[in-house]
Amino acid sequence: MHMLMATGIDIIQKLNVYPRFQDHDKKKLITLSNLDRQCPLLMYSVFFYKNTTTRDFDSVFSDLKLGLEETLSVWYPAAGRLGLDGGGCKLNIRCNDGGAVMVEAVATGVKLSELGDLTQYNDFYETLVYKPSFDGDFSVMPLVVAQVTRFACGGYSIGIGTSHSLFDGISAYEFIHAWAFNSHIDNKSNGKITNKKDNLVIKPVHDRGNLLLNGDAIRVTNAAAICHLYQLIKQAMMTHQEQNRKFELPDSGFVIKTFELNGEAIESMKKKSLEGFLCSSFEFLAAHLWKARTRALGLRRDAMVCLQFAVDIRKRTERPLPEGFSGNAYVLASVASTTRELLEELTLESIVNKIREAKKSIDQDYINSYMEALGGGDQSNDGNLPPLKELTLISDWTKMPFHNVGFGNGGEPADYVAPLCPPVPQVAYFMKNPKDAKGVLVRIGLDPRDVNDFSDHFLDC
- Domain residues for the domain of 285 are 227-399+417-459
* DSSP states along 260-288: EE-HHHHHHHHHHHHTT----HHHHHHHH
Residues 51 and 120 grouped into a single domain: yes
CATH number reported for the structural domain that contains residue 246 in this entry? 3.30.559.10
Domain assignment present for 1? no
Instruction: Give the integer Cα–Cα distance in Å for 396 and 169.
Output: 9
Please answer whether residues 205 and 322 qualify as being in contact, where contact means their C-beta atoms are separated by less than 8 angstroms: yes
Residues 287 and 392 grouped into a single domain: yes
Please answer whether residues 158 and 152 qualify as being in contact, where contact means their C-beta atoms are separated by less than 8 angstroms: no
Residue type, 51: N
Residues 55 and 115 grouped into a single domain: yes
Q: What is the DSSP letter of 341?
A: I
Q: Which residue, 269, 316, 295, 287, is CA-closest to 460?
A: 269
Query: Final residue of a domain: which of 156, 187, 218?
Result: 187
Q: How far is CA 77 from CA 28, 179, 323, 379, in A?
A: 9, 14, 17, 19
> Which value, in Å, is the radius of gyration of the alpha carbons in the chain?
22
Residues 133 and 242 grouped into a single domain: no
Residues 18 and 90 grouped into a single domain: yes
Residues 437 and 365 grouped into a single domain: yes
Q: How many domains does the chain have?
A: 2
Residues 96 and 240 grouped into a single domain: no
Domain assignment present for 20? yes
Residues 17 and 145 grouped into a single domain: yes
Cα of 431 vs its chain's centroid, Å: 10
Residues 15 and 102 grouped into a single domain: yes
Residues 171 and 281 grouped into a single domain: no
The residue count for the chain = 461
Strand, helix or coil for residue 224 = helix
User: 454 Cβ partners below 8 Å, 6+ apart?
Assistant: 257, 292, 293, 296, 444, 446
Alpha-carbon dihedral angle through residues 145, 150, 156, 159, given to the nearest 10 degrees? -20
Question: pLDDT tens per residue, the chain (461 residues)?
Answer: 444 444 689 999 999 999 998 876 778 899 999 999 988 999 999 999 987 655 677 788 999 999 999 999 999 999 999 998 866 678 999 999 999 999 999 998 999 999 999 999 999 999 999 999 988 888 899 999 999 999 998 899 999 999 999 999 999 999 999 999 999 865 443 333 333 445 567 789 999 988 987 655 555 568 888 888 888 888 888 776 665 554 444 555 789 999 999 999 999 999 888 888 899 999 999 999 999 999 999 999 999 999 999 999 999 999 999 999 999 999 999 999 999 999 999 999 999 999 999 999 999 999 999 998 887 654 444 445 556 899 999 999 998 888 888 887 767 888 899 999 887 888 999 998 888 889 999 999 999 999 999 999 999 86
Residues 35 and 167 grouped into a single domain: yes
- The residues that are catalytic are 164
* DSSP states along 308-329: EEEEE-TTTSSSPPPTTB-S--
Domain assignment present for 71? yes
Backbone phi, then psi, for 65, in 5-degree steps? -65, -45
0.85 exceeded by pTM: yes
Residue type, 147: Q
Strand partners of residue 144: 162
Residues 145 and 52 grouped into a single domain: yes
